[in-house]
Amino acid sequence: MLQYLLFFGLGFTLIYWQYKQLSPQDIADLKMSLEQVSERSWILLPIIIIGFLSHFFRALRWRLMLEPLNLRPTVVNITGAVFIGYLTNLLLPRMGEVAKCTVLAKYEDEPVDKIIGTIVAERAFDLICLMVISVLTFAVQAEVINDYVQYLMSKMEGKNLALMMGIGIIGMLSLIGLLVFIYRKNKTGKIGLFIKGLAEGVTSILAMKKRIQFIMYTFLIWGAYLSLIYFGFLALPATEHLGIGAALSVLVFGSLGMIVTPGGLGAYPQALQLVLNMLYGVKSALGLAFGWISWLAQTLIIVIFGIIAFIILPIYNKIRDEQIKVDTK
C-alpha cells in the first residue's frame, strides 16, 4: 500500500507543480491547444487504430514466447489479457504483469508460474530495445542534441565536466559490480531472479524457433509507438512541423516518464514538455499541452479496450467451452 501511495503521490505532486508553474498566458495557450485538437478530431481515428495495434502486436509477440512452454493461448484471450494488464497498472502500479498472467492462466487453464516466467524475458528485451532506440535517436538527432549538450558544457568549467564524466563512468562500473554481487548473494530471491532473467531473456529469444517473427513483431510494436507520437504532432499547429527524428526523441524520453509514475501520470507530460521545449523550441505551455493530450489519448485507449476485454473474455470463453464440449461428444 505504501508503494502505491508513493507512486500516485509523486504523480499528483508533479501535476500540482506543473499547474503552479503556469502563468495566465500559459493557461490561455493550453485552452487554445485543446480547441485546436477538437478542430482536428479526424486524427483520433488513426491514433486509436495504431494504439490498439501496438498492444495487439505485443500480445502476438508474447504468444510466441509461450510456445516453447507448450502454451498456445487463443489470440482473443492473450490480447484481452494484455489490455487488462495495462488497465490494472493504471490503478495498481506494477501489478499489471501479475494481472495479465492471472487472466490468461484462468481462461487457458494453465499454471500462473509458467506464464510469469516469460514476462521477465519480455521486459528484459524491451529494455534492450529502448537502449538501442536511444542510441539511434542520438545518432539521427545528433545535431540537435549536440547543440544542447554543447550549451550545457559551455556553462561548466573544464574541471567540473571532467569530474562529472569520471563520476558517471565510476557509477556505471559500480552498478554493474553491484548487480553481480547482489546476484551471487541472492540467487534465489526476487532481485536475484530478476537479474538472472535479464540475462536469460536475451538467450531465450536467440534460441527461439520463430526469431524472425519475434523481431518482426518487435519492430511493429515500436513502430506503432513512434507512429502514435508522429500522428500526435499533427494534432497541434505548434508541433505539426516536427518529423520522425523529433518523434524518436519524444519516444525515448516519454518511455522514461512512463516508468516513473503509474501509467506516466504527471511524469510523461513533463518529460514531453522538457524535450520539446529544450530540443525543438516548442513553447513550454504548448509542449505540456501536447504531453497531456498524448497521455490522455494513450490512457483512453487502454481504458476503453481494457473494459471491453473485461466484458468480452467471459462471454467468449463460455461459448468456446461449450463448443469444445460439443466437439468432444
35 part of a folded domain: no
pLDDT at 236: 85
pTM for the predicted model, two decimal places: 0.77
Whole-number pLDDT of residue 150: 57
Residue 265 has pLDDT above 80, yes or no: no
- Alpha-carbon distance of 185 to 179, in angstroms, equals 10
pLDDT confidence band for 321 (50 / 70 / 90): confident
Residue 9 domain-assigned (yes or no): no
* 105 found inside a domain: yes
**Residue written as cell 508522429?**
230
The pLDDT assigned to 223 comes to 94
For residues 310 and 99, what is the distance between their CA atoms, to the nearest angstrom? Answer: 12
Q: Is the pLDDT of residue 8 over 70?
A: no
Indicate the number of domains in the chain. Answer: 1
Domain-located, residue 26: no
Question: Radius of gyration (Cα) for the chain, nearest Å?
Answer: 22
Query: Percent of the chain scored above 70 by pLDDT?
Result: 67
Cβ atoms of 249 and 276 within 8 Å: the answer is: no
Please report whether residue 34 resides in a domain. no
Vertex 272: Cα angle to 268 and 275 (nearest 5): 140
14 falls within a domain? no
Question: What's the mean pLDDT in 142-163?
Answer: 55
pLDDT at 36 over 90: no
Is there a domain that residue 2 lies in? Answer: no
Q: What percent of the chain has pLDDT over 90?
A: 17
Cell numbers found for residue 86: 495495462
153 lies in which domain range? 43-328
In a domain, 164, yes or no: yes
